[in-house]
Amino acid sequence: MKFTAGQVAELINGKVEGNKEAVITNVSKIEEGKPETLTFLANPKYTHYLYTTKADVVIINDSFVAEQTVKATLIRVPDAYKALAQLLEMYEQSQPKKSGIEQPSFIDSSATLGDFAYVGAFAYIGENVKIGNNVQIYPQAFVGDNVTIGDNSIVYAGAKIYKHCRVGENCIIHAGAVIGSDGFGFAPDENNEYKKIAQIGNVILEDNVEVGANCALDRATMGSTIIRRGAKLDNLIQIAHNVEVGENTVLAAQAGIAGSAKIGKNCMFGGQVGIAGHISIADNTKIGAQAGVGGNIKKEGQILMGSPVIDVKQFYKSSVIFRRLPELKTQLDQLQKEIDSLK
């Protein structure tokens, strides 16, 4: 596909500075820019690449002020990152989508498939499954009995959706994810042996949810584990039984949420964040990577770090002290010697 800078600017409502006829045949990262490619600048850390990139067209923010001569043609927009995302989405939507049923695959006679659905080879569709329009089920995926999947959702290769779970519209479940595995429920008996507690609930993904590769979302003991509308889960995340993740909350890789925790909406968790069970996290909470949360977060809009978590400003002050502990220990020992000598 070939576009000009002017054509791209029209698509994203941008203003061209330079050659409107500059040709674009591909995209590239700004630090690896090549002729006839489109790139973007959103992070100030990459500003110096703007003056050396070989990409012919660069999308930048309206507010950007160049300090050197820029050879590339610029397309100015209010938000360069959002504009690029818009272009990539347009490109993705323009690609041909798979449809039809490949063989060998198994689809129970009681299952229903919507218009233009795709089922890849070796996929399994169980009893009373309801699959919406334009849904794509890739090879070797498993869809258990009584599962429903809403319109335009995608289940990638090798993903597993256990019985009775519900997937909304426009959801994406990446390869290797498991939706509806048993919650971690066991009760010790008089011999201190653990008896399994039946997990009879399900998992509900509301609309526009994305689940990364190799995530595990456990079914509820009773009721539902719920991932609310617009939430995004990175790869390798554990969501335990009866957890609720709020609308438009995003979790980075290797985060773990213990049973019955309630996460508010519009929260952001860094990688390897751990949340204890049976607690609640207020809306708009941001938690830094590797933090541990053992109690309720009641105040909205906080930024927290550390284990146990504290306010981010306190964390940075504490980290300075922590780095000085060997020096402070030496000083303390010296003071103790001086005190002992005075005695």
Q: Which residues pair with 3 in a beta bridge?
A: 24
Nearest to 17 by CA among 62, 76, 68: 76
The three-state DSSP-derived secondary structure of 290-338 is CCEECCCECCCCCEEECCCCEEHHHHHHHHHHHHCHHHHHHHHHHHHHH
Residues 6 or more apart from 33 whose CB is under 8 A from it?
A: 39, 49, 53, 54, 55, 72
Taking residue 274's Cβ as centre, other Cβ atoms within 10 Å add up to 18
What single-letter DSSP state applies at residue 206?
A: -
CA distance 308 to 292: 5
Contact 244, 262 (CB under 8 A): yes
Whether residue 241 lies in the annotated active site: yes
Structure-token match 């000598």, residue found: 341
Cα separations in angstroms, 167 against 3, 170, 225: 37, 9, 12
Catalytic residue among 48, 164, 174, 241: 241
Nearest to 165 by CA among 234, 241, 224: 224
Phi then psi for 170, rounded to 5 degrees?
60, 30
Give the three-state DSSP class for 26.
strand
Largest CA distance in the chain: 92
Catalytic (active-site) positions:
241
